[in-house]
Amino acid sequence: DAVVHWYKCDLRTADNKALHLASEKAKSKGIPLICLHIISPQDYKAHMTSAVRVDFVLRTLEVLKEDLAKLDIPLWVETVEKRKKIPDRIFELCKQWGASHLYTNIEYEVDELRREALMTREGSKKGVAVTAVHDTCVVAPGELSTGSGNQYAVYSPWFRAWIAHLHTHPHQLDIFDPPSQNPASARQTYKELFECHIPEAPENKRLTDEEKQRFRSMWPPGEYEAKERLAKFIKEKVQVYKDKRNFPAANSTAIVSVHLAAGTLSARTAIATARAANKVKKLDGGDLGIMTWISEVAWRDFYKHVLAHWPYVCMNKPFKPEYTNIEWEYNTDLFTKWTQGQTGYPFIDAAMRQLNHTGYMHNRARMAVASFLAKDLLIDWRMGERYFMEHLIDGDFASNNGGWGFSASTGVDPQPYFRIFNPILQSEKFDEEGEYIRKWVPELREVKGKAIHDPWGRGVRVKGYPKMCVEHKEARNRALARYKEGLGRD
Ligand code: FAD
């Protein structure tokens, strides 16, 4: 007999609820624990997973495999082309390994939720007890509701309820122990599982050699790296987070989103670590930097709650149905200019080039480019949402969908539609000295003073830098008219 833990976006040994429960079960029965991860190229395609993310996951699996091996726990990684075949293949493996217990952490995207429900039912017919548990959020979806029993659709009251819930259920911030050592016999019984090789990325998700080198030096894999990054941030930067987090050149955010997305860091650990550094135990008291950071990590929970409660957001629909009638543009020339950082708006171009070069973009810049695409260019926000997923190393459906819905005003608790960022003012405000622009748009490095934000508008001709692809004032008026028309307002 054996117990299996099925790894998905929870690629760590520490503070992993399903893994911990699986290990406890194995220990209580005196049988081995086996870990499993399935790679499905079709799944990657369906989720628009970026090649840089796939590479990060595969490198993390190498680290995980070694860490688990130290505990005599094998990690079996297998490729299953078609996502629909995954459940059957897992049950087959359980049979082959003689395992009667399967543990996993729940994922809240609609197909994944359905799959987990189906597997729980099927498992009982196949002699495998399937346990799927809440883990990825600090507070599980469904735990918080408004006075009238509904899901919150506005962040602020939801956040107050989130804080209150954690104060009345403090154990929810308890950290789960890593798995225990397997019985020595596991090495013999499951010898071939220990010999498993982590596969190369599937063909549709392969990086070039240059990209591999670039991304690998930027994004070291694994949970220890995540822990270190978090500890360094809490020690050195969190105190100024509240004041500096909006300035892309300040390098003052934690940059742990890649780890939260791959699960090399748990949100619970993130919050518990921040709280431990605070003078007070309350989550909404003490150090302002820590409080603000906790409230940002909570946004991640918020968007997952929204996704779990309103699964239609997974189906390319705007959260606000009344926004369905907006007539979007599908201008591929403008879209390409946006993707390539060639819009002629320096702040927007810097941000898109940061994304293309690193797989990451600062939050303020994400908001600015999303607003620019949806409002200045009036291009369907779903094209931007998709481009982000295909290029971000931290691509997370709920947060990305939430962020795009916020910026395009079609989402849950969004910017009002008439709030349209001026890309030049955003630049002047959040990159006053033009440091971020100069870093990512080398053509503009020599531009002096305020012209860095708006070279064409200030009459500075820069060789090789494109003209503004739209005029903001005109674009703004066009967007307002189009949103009003779609919403049926005068
Ligand atoms: P920090 O500022 O240090 O925050 C810590 C953590 O809190 C982040 O790692 C993240 O997990 C969470 N967080 C912070 N802000 C937000 C937010 N607005 N929404 C949800 N979670 C948040 N984040 C993703 O993880 N994946 C995405 O695919 C993603 N797409 C986005 C798309 C758009 C259009 C926008 C506006 C935002 C998006 N975000 C996404 C949220 C945010 O930009 C990133 O989480 C953040 O920039 C990551 O950097 P950090 O780890 O340094 O964040």
**189 occurs within a structural domain:** no
pLDDT of residue 333: 98
Q: How far is the CA of 257 from the centre of ligand 1 (A)?
A: 6
- Supply the pLDDT for residue 275: 97
Q: Is residue 372 part of a domain?
A: yes
Mean pLDDT of the chain: 97
Domain boundary among the residues 309, 340, 361 is at 309
156 and 97 belong to one structural domain = no
| Closest CA to ligand 1's atom 12 | 297
With cut-offs at 50, 70 and 90, classify the pLDDT of residue 67.
very high
Residues 374 and 424 in one domain: yes
**pLDDT over 90 (residue 490):** no
Task: For residue 297, give every residue at least 6 positions away whose Cβ sits within 8 Å of its Cβ, in sequence order, or none.
Answer: 138, 260, 267, 270, 271, 274
| pLDDT in the model for residue 208 | 97
| Pocket of ligand 1 contains residue 33 by CB under 6 Å | no
| Domain enclosing residue 265, as ranges | 137-174+217-309
How far is the centre of ligand 1, averaged over its atoms, from the C-alpha of 361 (Å)?
9
Q: Does any ligand 1 atom lie closer than 6 A to the CB of residue 291? A: no
Structure tokens at 248: 């892309």
Q: Is 354 near ligand 1, meaning CB less than 6 Å away?
A: no
400 Cα: distance to centroid of ligand 1 (angstroms): 8
What pLDDT sits at residue 379? 98
The answer on whether 158 is annotated among ligand-binding residues is no
Distance of CA 42 from the midpoint of ligand 1 (Å): 26
Mutational pocket test of ligand 1: of 273, 363, 366, the residue with most ligand atoms within 8 Å of the beta carbon: 363
Active site residues: 296, 299, 328, 363, 381, 404
Average pLDDT over residues 446-459: 96
pLDDT of residue 456: 93
* Average of per-residue pLDDT across 268-280: 97
**Residue of the CA atom closest to atom 31 of ligand 1:** 400
Amino acid (1-letter code) at residue 3: V
With respect to residue 329, please indicate whether it lies within any of the assigned structural domains: yes
Q: State yes or no: pLDDT of 125 exceeds 80.
A: yes
Q: What does the pLDDT average to over 131-149?
A: 97
Residue 197 is assigned to a structural domain of this protein: no
In this predicted model, what pLDDT tens digit does every residue of 470-481 receive, in sequence order? 999 999 999 999
pLDDT at position 437: 98
Q: Assess whether 107 and 1 both reside in one domain.
A: yes
The pTM score is: 0.98
- Higher model confidence: residue 253 or residue 321? 253
In a domain, 187, yes or no: no
Q: Does the pLDDT of residue 1 top 80, yes or no?
A: yes
Assess whether 91 and 54 both reside in one domain: yes
Q: Which pLDDT tens digit goes with each residue over 396-427? A: 999 999 999 999 999 999 999 999 999 999 99
| C-beta separation of 383 from 336 below 8 A | no
Please tell me the distance from the alpha carbon of residue 366 to that of residue 357, in angstroms, as a whole number: 15
Q: Is residue 206 part of a domain?
A: no
Say which CATH number the domain at 230 has. 1.25.40.80
**Banded pLDDT at 85 (limits 50, 70, 90):** very high
Helix 363-371 vs helix 397-408: crossing angle, to nearest 10: 50
Mean pLDDT of 453-458: 96
Residues 152 and 74 in one domain: no
209 is in an annotated binding site: no
Ligand 1 in reach of 251 Cβ (< 6 A): no
Calculated CA dihedral for residues 47, 351, 215, 195, nearest 10 degrees: -20
104 — phi, psi (to 5°)? -160, 155
- Distance (angstroms) between ligand 1 centre and the Cα of 162 equals 18
Co-location of 156 and 125 in the same domain: no
| Other beta carbons less than 10 A from residue 95's beta carbon | 13
pLDDT at 375: 98
Q: Are residues 130 and 263 in the same domain?
A: no
Q: Is 295 in the pocket of ligand 1 (CB under 6 A)?
A: no
Residues 330 and 479 in one domain: yes
- Nearest Cα neighbor of 234 from 164, 316, 292, 176 is 292
pLDDT in tens, 157-167: 999 999 999 99
Atom from ligand 1 closest to the CA of residue 406: 36
**ipTM greater than 0.95:** yes
Query: How far is 444 from 455, CA to CA, in rounded Å?
Result: 9
How many percent of the chain have pLDDT more than 90?
98
Query: Does ligand 1 lie within 6 Å of residue 392's CB atom?
Result: yes
Residue 432 and residue 396 share a domain: yes
Q: What is the pLDDT of residues 310-352, one digit of tens each?
A: 999 999 999 999 999 999 999 999 999 999 999 999 999 999 9
Start-to-end Cα distance in the chain: 68
- For residue 353, what is the domain's CATH number? 1.10.579.10
Choosing from 309, 341, 374, the residue where a domain stops is: 309
CATH of the domain at 79: 3.40.50.620
pLDDT of 215 higher than 90:
yes
Q: Is 300 annotated as a binding residue?
A: yes
Rounded to the nearest whole angstrom, what is the distance from the C-alpha of residue 408 to the centroid of ligand 1?
Answer: 16
**Pairing label, strands 99-105, 33-39:** unpaired
Question: Does 182 have pLDDT greater than 80?
Answer: yes
Do 461 and 382 share a structural domain?
yes
Domains: count for the chain: 3
In a domain, 242, yes or no: yes
448, 352: one domain: yes
Q: Is 226 in the pocket of ligand 1 (CB under 6 A)?
A: no
253 close to ligand 1 (CB < 6 Angstrom): yes
Residue 489 confidence (pLDDT) = 83
- Rounded to whole angstroms, the Cα distance separating 425 from 403 reads 20
Does a structural domain hold residue 270? Answer: yes
The whole-angstrom separation of Cα 143 and Cα 302 is: 12
> Parallel, antiparallel, or unpaired for β 2-7 and 99-105?
parallel
Domain stop point among 109, 135, 161:
135
**Cβ atoms within 10 Å of 300's Cβ, excluding its own:** 21
For the chain, what percent of residues have pLDDT higher than 70? 100
**Apex 380 CA angle, 374 and 381, nearest 5:** 60
pLDDT of residue 49: 98
Please tell me whether residues 142 and 131 are part of one structural domain: no
